[in-house]
């Protein structure tokens, strides 16, 4: 049984819209906005409203259930050190598409778009034999805590628009 208690519809915070905003182009984006699941905070940044958070929790529950059946779940950090990304050449190869920052000690970090570098690092340090491989075969992206930036093909003259929602 779910820990979510469904209240009377009149008591729920579900701000619906009659029409989708004009900047929403993808059908799923329009539906989620109109149904009161999400609201856009900025380009590519969304607030999950109560119904959206409930749907997201259900998806996470399904993925987690499947992960428990086939293996184990990893919780990998969103911020990664520069060194892990330099080994693959993607620190410079990603160009301006990668969000970079420095911590208070001056160490360079990035907001990881994927977890291949970190899973490779774990495997490199921990695996001693090929016989260990079946124990370590997770999906590198598992349940991300943020959506990776996506470059969408332009349907009209190029306009920089990051309004795509990824669940």
Band of the pLDDT at 132, cuts 50, 70, 90? confident
* The token pair that represents 27 in the structure block: 């059908």
Triad 110, 140, 106: Cα angle to 5°: 15
Band of the pLDDT at 163, cuts 50, 70, 90? very low
Q: What is the mean pLDDT of residues 138-157?
A: 51
Identify the sign of the CA torsion 70, 74, 75, 81: negative
Residues 73-82: pLDDT tens digits? 778 899 999 9
Triad 95, 26, 153: Cα angle to 5°: 35
Does the global pTM surpass 0.85?
A: no
pLDDT above 50: residue 155: no
Q: 19-23, 85-89, 103-107 — which is least confidently predicted?
A: 19-23
């Amino acid at each position: 049984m779910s820990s979510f208690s469904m209240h009377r519809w009149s008591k729920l915070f579900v701000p619906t819209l009659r029409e989708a905003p004009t900047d929403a182009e993808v059908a799923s984006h329009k539906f989620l906005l109109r149904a009161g699941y999400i609201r856009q905070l900025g380009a590519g940044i969304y607030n999950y409203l109560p119904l959206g958070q409930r749907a997201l929790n259900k998806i996470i529950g399904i993925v987690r259930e499947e992960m428990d059946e086939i293996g184990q779940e990893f919780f990998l950090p969103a911020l990664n050190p520069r060194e892990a990304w330099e080994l693959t050449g993607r620190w410079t190869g990603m160009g301006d598409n990668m969000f970079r920052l420095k911590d208070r000690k001056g160490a360079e970090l990035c907001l990881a778009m994927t977890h291949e570098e970190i899973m490779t690092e774990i495997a490199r340090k921990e695996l001693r034999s090929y016989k260990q491989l079946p124990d370590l075969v997770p999906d590198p992206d598992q349940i991300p805590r943020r959506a990776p930036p996506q470059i969408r093909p332009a349907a009209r003259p190029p306009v920089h628009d990051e309004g795509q929602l990824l669940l």
